[in-house]
Amino acid sequence: MSEREAVTAARPAAPAARSASSAPAGRAVVMDGAALARKVRHEVAARAAGFAARTGRRPGLAVVQVGEDRASSVYVSYKRKACQEAGIESFGHDLPAATAESQLLALIAELNRDERVDGILVQLPLPGGLSPDRIMDAIDPRKDVDGFHPVNFGLLAQKRPRLRPCTPYGVIRLAQEYGIALRGVKATVVGDSTIVGRPMAMELLLAEATVTVCHIATRDLRADVERAEVLVSAVGKAGLIRGDWIRPGAAVFDVGISWAANGKLCGDVEFERAAERAGWITPVPGGLGPMTIAMLLSNTIDAACARAGTS
Ligand code: NAP
């Protein structure tokens, strides 16, 4: 069995896949990322308990935060709590914003050597003066549970994924859960960042979709959205994707996060109008946010098992 076949075989069984032309009739099915995330976290907790029984230690995740960005502090506290609930030991490292890059690199070298640590997460964004590329490159790829290291990105691009970026992997898990066809469909990804848009395109290619990637220089975003049977938007601009652009029956995954003037959290897609046309749609909040954390835990137990040479 090739590595790729093994990845496909290891995926959970999904209902018969459906595409835009056979989408459920009527208003879109709202995909419940929070519910699937709970299911994934239960699976992780069971695997973590098995790992602890076999190895005599819990899987470990080091969570590094530099500075006191408010949103980052909230995300980090969610991640630490999720670890605790799943039986994963969380090692917190909170560093001041003025931390020198050499100090952060020294901490990463120490975590790379620490046998108790299976995964290392450095919360982004980093304060100015610290290069995210240099920091990510320093993480041992076997402990890169965010899937951002060039080795893990490269393996995904070469169709032999190992540790997969959490948000794109979460999109794939949601699509499987709801029986949404990816093979052969026209998929559009809006946003081409290295942490969401580009790996998302690689995941969709791995699933054998025909992929278009839109970015800031895209001439006709509307046309690329209108043809999409599967749409993933990861920009962070509320209302960028108009509801009436959505292809009838399409599966819409809204990764974007921004705050409206009234303080409400929003995605990139005009949700209400889009839901009248789409076959499936993710809400914001309650869609990819919880899935991202669940896939982080899933990557941590995968990394722990791979390091320990156990299943
Ligand atoms: P990012 O690094 O800012 O990337 C945004 C991307 O969108 C860039 O590639 C940017 O291109 C592109 N873009 C900007 N305006 C555009 C336009 N009008 N049309 C098409 N593309 C455009 O952000 P990110 O880290 O990828 O995250 C994207 C969004 O997802 C953010 O809102 C973030 O908060 C959210 N997010 C959510 C989760 C979750 O768990 N739900 C996880 C990660 C990220 P240029 O770089 O050329 O400007």
Residue whose CA lies nearest to ligand 1 atom number 45: 216
Tokens at residue 108, please?
A: 């990463």
Residue whose CA lies nearest to ligand 1 atom number 32: 236
Residue 141 in contact with ligand 1 by CB distance below 6 A: no
Give the burial string for 207-237 (b: 16+ CB within 10 Å, else e).
bebebbbbeeebeebeebbeebbbbbbbbbe
Q: Are 215 and 194 in contact (CB under 8 A)?
A: no
- In order, the DSSP letters of 39-50 are HHHHHHHHHHHH
Mark out the alpha helices in 87-209 (DSSP H runs): 101-113, 132-138, 150-157, 166-177, 197-206
For residue 203, how far is its CA from the centre of ligand 1 (angstroms)? 17
Residue whose CA lies nearest to ligand 1 atom number 15: 216
Residue 241 in contact with ligand 1 by CB distance below 6 A: no
For residue 256, how far is its CA from the centre of ligand 1 (angstroms)? 7
Beta strands (DSSP E) in 196-311 are 210-214, 230-233, 251-254, 258-259, 265-266, 280-281
> Catalytic residues, which ones?
79, 123, 146
Write down all domains in the chain, each with its CATH number in brackets: 58-145 (3.40.50.10860), 165-289 (3.40.50.720)
Tokens 């995964």 locate to 119
User: Which atom of ligand 1 lies closest to the CA of 268?
Assistant: 32
Among candidates 270, 258, 259, 195, which has minimal Cα distance to 231? 270
> Among 36, 72, 169, 196, which is best to mutate for testing ligand 1, by the most ligand atoms less than 8 A from CB?
196
Global pTM value: 0.94
Cα 10 to Cα 3, 125, 230, 311, distances in angstroms? 10, 33, 23, 12
pLDDT of residue 22: 83
Tokens at residue 129, please?
A: 């003066």
For residue 192, how far is its CA from the centre of ligand 1 (angstroms)? 7
Give the CA angle between residues 265, 217, 126 to the nearest 5°.
50
Per-residue pLDDT of the chain (311 residues; tens, 9 = 90+): 444 444 444 444 445 788 888 887 789 999 999 999 999 999 999 999 999 999 999 999 999 999 998 889 989 999 999 999 999 999 999 999 999 999 999 999 999 999 999 999 999 999 999 999 999 999 999 999 999 999 999 999 999 999 999 999 999 999 999 999 999 999 999 999 999 999 999 999 999 999 999 999 999 999 999 999 999 999 999 999 999 999 999 999 999 999 888 888 999 999 999 999 999 999 999 999 999 999 999 999 999 999 999 87
Residue 235 in contact with ligand 1 by CB distance below 6 A: yes
H or E element, residue 187: strand 186-190
The rounded distance, in Å, linking the Cα atoms of 141 and 163 is: 8
Q: Are 44 and 298 in contact (CB under 8 A)?
A: yes
pLDDT of residue 1: 43
pLDDT of residue 310: 87
- Phi and psi of 150, rounded to 5°? -55, -30
